[in-house]
Structure 1
Amino acid sequence: MMIKLIATDMDGTFLDDNGHFDHERFERLLNRLDERGIHFVVATGNQVSRMQHVLGDLADRVSYVAGNGSHLVLDGQTHALKEIPLDELQSFFTYFEDKFADYHIVISSPQETYMLEAAWTRDNLADQASLDYYNKSFPGVELVADSAAIPLKNINKITLKVPMAEFDQLMAFGDGENDLSMLALAEYSYAMDNASPVVKAAAKNLAPSNNDQGVMQVIEAYFGA
């Protein structure tokens, strides 16, 4: 069966650890794909604007499923764009009003990206390299004084980075492989006794099984109940 489409993630997959790729090699590859009528699709959580910046003069030769699937671009034209509803945006802004800087919150539409001036320089991420990489992920970002200056229009993505120190105060429980990231972050991580071996290996602690009300047992023990 002939392949008609090739899709790839970018960060950590197509791009190297420095966010680079071999431009000439990729151009030759695109030429071969074009000859065979095979589409190359960038599938990424990033916005199209960042990927176009990274790909440079090759940007218009690929298609995009970007913004975690919210933005579909084919042949340079937007074919689908799922915006975040206004009421949900307003609720987010209200809830995180005093966390925009601490959480390095970025509000994005396909055309514009906004970030607080204080968030750009806030050094509560793990290290300066992490902060620099995070900021570089949003080319052309417009820095604003406060969240009230961000227009709630055509927003399709919200990005935030919770400081690692805050996970020192997190207790988490899980049993499946979809829980691995959460367990890896939490200082007090518990795999249920009924969890798979890989989950148990990822957690720092073991809790009784779900059938034995393991979550409540651990919480009660922690508080001396």
Structure 2
Amino acid sequence: MDLSKIKMVVSDMDGTLLNNQHEVSKEFFHLFENLKKQNIAFVAASGRQYYSMLDKLKPIANDILFIAENGAFVKKQEQVLMTISLDQTYITNVLEVVDKIDNAHAVLCTAQTAYVKKSSGDFIEMLKEYYSEFTLVDSQQEVSDTILKIAIYHHQSSENYLYPELKQFEDVLKVKVSGENWLDISEPNAHKGYALQKVMDKHGINADEIMVFGDFNNDLEMMQLSNYSFAMANAHPNVKRIAKYQTLSNTEHGVEHILSKLLLAKS
């Protein structure tokens, strides 16, 4: 494994860079400063809202690129590089299905906020971990804002309870199980792989010059763009199947473990 050519590092957040308490380690921030000295760019890629990602990575926010909302929103410093929005007809149809699923909660994600039902109960408190900015509404069907993504949460399992009901939209939309409890619906090109390919093209980065870390199905497309894709030890079987390499779990600092090897190779 020759890491000496790496020019860019891309990491998912939940289950990857973040530990199980949703924290970024002090070790990572230290390693980042050394990556910066080696002119290695860093990209955070997440299903999270941009503002939530910003909260987690505030000390280095001006030095990195954010791929948020699973690729529907890309931003560097104050410049929005890309947004991909959902057609209103699809939003209406998806919400009608979600409303019929027990213990399911939809979140309408925009560039500035996220719209959640006032009647969502305990889910609203849990939502604060993933959405720093959100707006409570009586009816999501009446929201007229530009929607980038519909994130849907199920208390037990997104794969078992949400996907079977929502896979009917796969012919026209991207339907992605993005976490144990989350499923995301977006336009077909609104995914991390599409966004990352645009970033790579803009910076002239090849597959052997980029390192990618991930743990769940919404990371698959971006991991396929790299010769140095790393599945976390805690990753979904689909991710382990397509990743070129594997590292330690998110609780064992698997990303930091490989970044240390990268810096050693660069030195």
Q: TM-score range by the shorter chain?
A: 0.5 to 0.7
Q: By how many angstroms is 1:4 displaced?
A: 0.5
Comparing 140-149 with 111-120, greater Cα deviation is found at: 140-149
The answer (yes or no) to whether the contact 1:65–1:73 under 8 Å persists in 2 is: yes
The answer (yes or no) to whether the contact 1:104–1:120 under 8 Å persists in 2 is: no
Q: By how many angstroms is 1:56 displaced?
A: 2.4
Q: By how many angstroms is 1:132 displaced?
A: 5.1
Distance 1:162 1:26, change over 3 A: closer
Equivalent residue, structure 2, for 1:160: 152
Q: By how many angstroms is 1:2 displaced?
A: 2.1
Distance 1:15 1:96, change over 3 A: closer
Structure 2: tracts of 5 or more residues without a match: 165-176, 182-236, 239-267
Matched residue SS, 1:159 = strand
Equivalent residue, structure 2, for 1:117: 118
Q: By how many angstroms is 1:30 displaced?
A: 2.5
Alignment map for 1:1-225 (pairs within 5 Å): 1-23=4-26, 25-97=27-99, 102-121=103-122, 133-151=126-144, 153-164=145-156
Distance 1:144 1:76, change over 3 A: same
The answer (yes or no) to whether the contact 1:65–1:72 under 8 Å persists in 2 is: yes
Please tell me whether Structure 1 or Structure 2 has the larger radius of gyration of its CA atoms.
Answer: 1
The answer (yes or no) to whether the contact 1:97–1:147 under 8 Å persists in 2 is: no
Q: By how many angstroms is 1:97 displaced?
A: 4.8
Structure 1: tracts of 5 or more residues without a match: 123-130, 172-180, 186-197, 200-225
Letter in 1 for 2:79: Q
TM-score, L = length of structure 2: 0.52
Q: By how many angstroms is 1:14 displaced?
A: 0.7
Structure 1 runs, 4 residues or longer, greater than 6 Å off:
none
Letter in 2 for 1:8: S
The answer (yes or no) to whether the contact 1:49–1:110 under 8 Å persists in 2 is: no
Distance 1:74 1:159, change over 3 A: same
Q: By how many angstroms is 1:46 displaced?
A: 1.2
Cα distance in 1 for residues equivalent to 2:120 and 2:62: 32
Distance 1:163 1:73, change over 3 A: same
Equivalent residue, structure 2, for 1:127: none
Equivalent residue, structure 2, for 1:189: none
